[in-house]
Amino acid sequence: MAPGVDEDVDESRQTLVRHFQFSEEEHAFDKEEQVEVLSEETRPFSWKKLWLFTGPGVLMSIGYLDPGNLESDLQSGAIAGYSLLWLLMWATMMGLIIQLLSARLGVTTGYDLAEICREVYPFWTRIILWLMAEVAIIGADIQEVIGSAIALRILSFGYIPLWGGVLITAMDGFVFLFLENFGIRKLEVLFEVLILVMAVSFACMFAQAQPSMRDLLAGLIIPRVSSSTVSQAVGVVGALIMPHNIFLHSALVQSRTINISSIAHVKEALRYYTIESSCALLISFIINLFVISVFSEAFYGTDIAESIGLANAGEYLQAHFGNRYFPILYIWAIGLLAAGQSSTMTGTYAGQFIMSGFLDLRVKRWIRAVMTRAVAILPTVVIALIFQGSNERLDTLNEWLNVLQSIQLPFAVIPLLCVVSSKQIMGFFRIGPVMMVLSWIIALLVVVINGYLLVEFCSTFLTPTVSLISLLGMAAALYIIFIIYLVIHGWCCDHDL
């Protein structure tokens, strides 16, 4: 216990910690899988300790670099130019706050968000939350696998069809399982390499495009959204923060061995995770900025701007830039492949934690991984066969999947905010009034933005009929009622863990 801290303040959290330590339930990481960072001494800062804590934030940041985000980036750049860079920056900051709260939950309690939901919500509620999380993972995985398949089609000079690329990408789940046997640190190094590949690829594109630094800085500093770019603005926010990433981060931070009974050690871990996550999301922000800037410089204000999507972006880049240093088509494909491969593997990882956490499944991890992979891959293969050769329909599919991610987000964010606001669960580490207000404002903003995105998208792609409007109205009412229930339950119920 840290000096000057009243032990009674932290009594409820200590009860939860003891429950975690003596529980026979399966948790995110077994003791033999964890990285040893425990020491009696807690110093203000140590580069060695920062390195030992580095990893969970890296894996988390990949969710901000998946093909769905790249599609949103390129459309934002092509249609809105540099004008939405400020929104990307602030959306990344909002994402950082949410991710740090997720890490705070995992470090402080020893539980991940899915496990906490299993403890605090009634059976019917946690089943709905689990199903929504699985739907979000499936939607994200379809985008990620399709993105990888598009990249493989480009890199194979068109010889690998879209469905073939999907099947090849499906195999990375087994590569992931193989690498898991070598320990979490080896896995983290793999993802660090993939992020490096993305950074180098998109930095090369940025160098070839030679964007206007004046316009870039103006886009970062001056907030502006015109009536013609509202959809792109909403898409930037909606595609960035992903539901399964919130569950994932709360589990990943448990890969380090710390004394969660000690306030001093928990505070130290949170300090290092804050530094690590901030650096990881800064890198992801820079990569996203590269993509927006390239497509802004090349296509903003052109007749083809609104026709550019993930499936045809490489061809448009090649037609515009040609072979200056190295064919930009293949630079784009390499970056896209790294984004797709890394994000689909972290999606598999998140699926394991979510399934285990909500359902307390006592099965081997490789079985859970295969189950998670199969659920997402089968519909993706079907979609690849249907959409083969149709770039326009693939882009529309990606937009639908971004909407799907958006409407699932409250089912991760609201439980998280309710838990980290709970004195009984978090004890001394309950968030303060300022952070509480800021977090709920972010949650409300995200819900409103996602609601707008859904209404605008449905009005664009669906023909209104009486039966359709009635059905959508009923679904919207149930959606809002469930969100209100989650908030009321989190604030008013006295959780007895």
Asked if residue 109 has pLDDT above 60, the reply is yes
What span, in angstroms and rounded, lies between the C-alpha atoms of 193 and 425? 37
Closest by CA to 219, choosing from 92, 95, 65, 77, is 77
Choice between 292 and 315, residue whose per-residue pLDDT is larger: 292
Choice between 134 and 491, residue whose per-residue pLDDT is larger: 134
pLDDT attached to residue 203: 92
- Going by pLDDT thresholds of 50, 70 and 90, the confidence category of residue 449 is confident
pLDDT attached to residue 281: 95
- Going by pLDDT thresholds of 50, 70 and 90, the confidence category of residue 173 is low
Count Cβ atoms below 10 Å from residue 99 Cβ, excluding itself: 29
- Going by pLDDT thresholds of 50, 70 and 90, the confidence category of residue 4 is very low
Closest by CA to 389, choosing from 158, 73, 74, 171, is 158
Q: Quick one: average pLDDT of 284-293?
A: 94
pLDDT attached to residue 292: 94
pLDDT attached to residue 179: 72
pLDDT attached to residue 334: 92
pLDDT attached to residue 396: 67
Q: What is the DSSP track for 47-104?
A: HHHHHHH-SHHHHHHGGGSSHHHHHHHHHHHHHHTTTTHHHHHHHHHHHHHHHHHHHH
pLDDT attached to residue 6: 46
Q: What is the pLDDT of residues 323-334, one digit of tens each?
A: 666 788 889 999
Asked if residue 365 has pLDDT above 70, the reply is no
Q: Quick one: average pLDDT of 212-240?
A: 80
Asked if residue 227 has pLDDT above 80, the reply is no
Q: Quick one: average pLDDT of 66-86?
A: 89
Domains and CATH numbers, the chain: 45-492 (1.20.1740.10)
Length of the chain in residues, anyone? 497
Mean of the per-residue pLDDT values of the chain? 81
Asked if residue 315 has pLDDT above 90, the reply is no
pLDDT attached to residue 423: 82
What span, in angstroms and rounded, lies between the C-alpha atoms of 177 and 190? 13
Q: Quick one: average pLDDT of 119-124?
A: 88
Percentage of the chain lying above the pLDDT 90 cut = 20
- 3 state SS of 126: helix
Q: Quick one: average pLDDT of 392-417?
A: 78
pLDDT winner (highest mean) among 10-14, 301-305, 398-402: 301-305
What span, in angstroms and rounded, lies between the C-alpha atoms of 366 and 238? 32
Lowest mean pLDDT among 252-256, 432-436, 448-452, 480-484: 448-452
Q: Quick one: average pLDDT of 163-185?
A: 75
Residues 360-377 as b or e (16 or more Cβ within 10 Å = b): eeeeeebebbeebbeebb
pLDDT winner (highest mean) among 216-225, 256-265, 342-351, 386-395: 216-225
